[in-house]
Amino acid sequence: MRKRIFAANWKMNHGPTAAAGFIREFRSRWNGSDAEIVFFPSALAFAAVRAAAGDPSPFKLGVQNVYFADHGAFTGENSAPMAKDAGADYVLVGHSERRHVFGETDADCAAKCAIVERSGLTPLLCVGETLDQRERGETSTVVTRQLREGLARLDQIELTTSVIAYEPVWAIGTGKNATPEDAAKTHGVLRSALTELIGDRASEVSILYGGSVTPANAAQILSAQDVDGVLVGGASLEVERWLSICSS
């Protein structure tokens, strides 16, 4: 059975005080489910979120980025072993903002996925096409390339423990979102690509959808074939809206 995952990517929002307050309120109101709830706070808010979540925590935690090395003279960066030591379970890799704002390549994503797995964490690899690529009919080609190259340095076992998120770049923060049919089609392409890599065990890999997910459209998106959860940005910043999505 694949995990059903609801992941909140807070990006550069919610400092330690606001993040801790959010987690305390969410935990007090969350009735629980079979789904896995994951929070990706900013690096500066991570410790506050972990403390507010309690021990044991009903949620999983992740970091939004790591560097390629375990340690060293890399001012401003964080490493996967440090994230593990801090209590992280997941690491976002290849988010569209990392690719298009900070210039990260598929090769960078491959290096990060490898060090994340080696450190005992789960990479959540993001793939997705731009509007121009979509209009040229290149969606399948782009996401397949990003998936194959991003996972290229993982072995068969590591591949089955990874998580994928399809994030159409044209839908992130724009208010536009793929239809359930669009999501199902692209998730099917990704599932097929995974099957070519690991055979029947591709059915074990969760594929999330991310791109202007809201309480209004979450249930419809989650009903689409091969959509195993959502990766949410803006709508995860408010407790009420995030509760609604996680209850979809």
pLDDT at 72: 97
pLDDT at 77: 97
Instruction: Check pLDDT > 90 for residue 172.
Output: no
Domain tally, the chain: 1
Distances (CA, A) of 23 to 96, 125, 132, 205, 242: 26, 25, 38, 27, 11
Instruction: Check pLDDT > 80 for residue 174.
Output: no
pLDDT at 173: 74
Q: Which two tokens stand for residue 158?
A: 């590591």
| DSSP assignment string, 150-205 | HTTT--HHHHHH-EEEE--GGGTTTS----HHHHHHHHHHHHHHHHHHHGGGGGGS
Q: Please write the tens of the pLDDT for every residue from 201-217.
A: 999 999 999 988 999 99
pLDDT at 243: 98
Beta strands in 10-139 (DSSP E): 36-40, 60-63, 90-93, 122-127
Instruction: Check pLDDT > 80 for residue 177.
Output: no
CA angle 48-88-123, nearest 5°? 140
Beta strands in 3-161 (DSSP E): 5-9, 36-40, 60-63, 90-93, 122-127
Question: pTM surpassing 0.85?
Answer: yes
Sign of CA pseudo-dihedral 23, 37, 139, 143:
positive
| Chain-centre distance for alpha carbon 159 | 15
Instruction: Reply yes or no on whether 95 is catalytic.
Output: yes
- Provide the β-strand partners of residue 39: 8, 61
Which of 34, 2, 4 has the alpha carbon at shortest distance from 205?
2
Residues 6+ apart with CB under 8 A from 88: 46, 61, 62, 63, 121
What CATH code is carried by the domain that includes residue 31? 3.20.20.70
Secondary structure (3-state) at 7: strand
Residues 6+ apart with CB under 8 A from 131: 169, 170
Q: Please write the tens of the pLDDT for every residue from 26-72.
A: 999 999 889 999 999 999 999 999 999 999 999 999 999 999 999 99
Cα separation, 22 vs 39, whole angstroms: 11
**Domain range enclosing 104:** 5-246
Plot region of 24 (φ>0 → left; ψ -120 to 50 → alpha; else → beta): alpha
Could you say which of 14, 95, 129, 187 is catalytic?
95
CA angle 142-147-148, nearest 5°? 100
Instruction: Reply yes or no on whether 238 is catalytic.
Output: no
Could you say which of 129, 149, 158, 167 is catalytic?
167
Q: Do residues 179 and 212 make contact, with C-beta atoms less than 8 angstroms apart? A: no
